[in-house]
Amino acid sequence: MSLISDHTETVVYKGANIKLPLFLDYQSTTPLAPQVHEVLVAALKVPGNSASSTHIFGLDAKEKIEKAKEQIADLIAARPDEIIFTSGATEANNLALLGYARQFKGKGHIISVETEHNSVLSALNELNDEGFDVTYLPVEKDGRLSLKKLEAALSAQTILVSIHAANNETGTLQEIEKIGALCRTRKITFHTDAVQALSTKSIDVIQNEITLLSLSGHKLYGPQGIGALYVKRGTPFVSSSQGGEHQQNIRAGTLPTALIAGLGEACQLAKECRNKDDQQLLHLSAIVKDKLKSELGDEIQFNGNQRARIPGCLNFTFKDIDAEDLLLSNPSLALSTGSACASTSHAPSHVLLAMGLSASEANGTVRMGLGRYVTEIEADFAASLLVEAYRKMKT
């Protein structure tokens, strides 16, 4: 059994101590914020089921959950009663798409993009098998959806549009404000997977005309195993779970009070730290990019829109090498070759292929996720190690 403690060491780089291995995979998950940890542990110490209304323990649990709803709603400018708790974004995406579409009983047109997260694509494939007409729009080379192509694809039969706010592999931001406006003028429901965007970008469900929005705790410096789905008040829904009248009959099951309290705290912190985090991650990203460019030149290319993107998410392709081999030879850095949800698959990234990269280019691609607790010296160190590892592989 391999434990992190078995591989921990400290190295000196430019006069600073750096603890290894260095976690640089913030798009897969974020470390638990200390403030969230405190709230989580405190909630774990008190028993109580929020559905038990006859004693103080149940009422205490319900109060914690109601507070979390307010904190989450405040992050996205929603109402507390529009927040439905899930086990994470994968369930939230499935719940949103299946729960909304199935009221139409297999009739209707749905639009998404080829670069969506697998949890969205899998749910849409299931709806396609049920008789829905599903369109997967291509993206441009920078990963962005053409609004003209979206507008041309909309029809009188379109019932749902699902477009992520930011891509989890490249960090590319979509124009959700304009997408929401297009949907509003045609009275079409708009769902967005906002998991990757919310820690640094402001999303207002009212201004952006969003009907359904998915989010996840562990992408916001909150706990794993908890997420939420925003469902605009009055939106019709078909429940797929039975066994209790929890959460407006949309999702049954006892609510995990401690996890929910932690998610609420994480959302409050995200709103408070968003601007600071955004600027710091832009700075760290520039450090990495500048070093890689100056050292490797045209032997490296950066993927995705380089302006419309979430800060801290860097996706770059090394020339003529296999990225997995590079990462395996460099265990001091915790990086990835793509989505954590697809890490067991050896197939090239569907996101990069949709953007026009070849299979060999996709296989030579690394994703680096910088975050709130990464320092300048650590970012510089990581870039130096990547340059050194690449040159060794090329010799």
DSSP line for 128-173: HHTT-EEEEE---TTSPPPHHHHHHH--TTEEEEE--SB-TTT-BB
- Number of separate domains in the chain: 2
- Provide the edge-to-edge strand list for the sheet that holds 212-216: 83-86, 227-231, 212-216, 189-193, 158-162, 109-113, 133-137
Q: Are residues 136 and 281 in the same domain?
A: no
Q: Is pLDDT larger for residue 347 or for residue 268?
A: 268
Dump the DSSP string for 91-122: HHHHHHHHHHHGGGTT-SEEEEETTS-HHHHH
pLDDT score for 394: 87
Bridge partners (DSSP) of residue 313 are 369
User: Are 180 and 302 part of one and the same domain?
Assistant: no
Q: Is the pLDDT of residue 7 over 90?
A: no
Q: Are residues 255 and 282 in the same domain?
A: no
Are 95 and 226 found together in one domain? Answer: yes
Backbone angles phi, psi at 15, to 5 degrees: 85, 0
pTM check: above 0.75 = yes
Residues 183 and 108 in one domain: yes
**pLDDT score of 269:** 98
Of 118, 71, 76, nearest to 97 by C-alpha is: 118
> What range does the domain containing 306 cover?
4-31+274-394
The answer to whether residues 343 and 256 belong to one domain is no
Percentages of the chain per state (helix, strand, coil), in multiples of 5: 45, 15, 40
Q: What is the mean pLDDT of residues 168-173?
A: 97
pLDDT above 90: residue 240: no
Quick: pLDDT tens for 112-167. Answer: 999 999 999 999 999 999 999 999 999 999 999 999 999 999 999 999 999 999 99
Residues of the chain with pLDDT > 70: what percent? Answer: 95
**Active site amino acids:** 341
Please tell me the predicted confidence (pLDDT) of residue 344. Answer: 54
Q: What is the CATH number of the domain that holds 343?
A: 3.90.1150.10
Residue 140, pLDDT score: 98
pLDDT digits (tens, 9 = 90+) for 31-81: 999 999 999 999 999 899 998 989 999 999 999 999 999 999 999 999 999
What pLDDT sits at residue 38? Answer: 98
Single out the residue of 376, 273, 281 nearest to residue 33, CA to CA.
273
pLDDT for position 395: 81
Residue 100: Cβ-neighbour burial (10 angstroms; 0-12, 13-18, 19+)? buried
pLDDT for residue 246: 72
Residue 5 has pLDDT above 80, yes or no: no
Same domain assignment for residues 20 and 79: no
Q: Report whether pLDDT(97) > 60.
A: yes
CATH number where 134 lies = 3.40.640.10
- 265 and 244 in a common domain: yes
CA distances in angstroms from 34 to 4, 39, 76, 334, 378, listed in the order given: 20, 9, 23, 21, 20
pLDDT tens-digit series, residues 350-388: 999 999 999 999 999 999 999 999 999 999 999 999 999
Select from 270, 291, 307 the last residue of a domain: 270
Does 40 lie in the same domain as 80? yes
Q: For residue 247, what pLDDT is reported?
A: 80
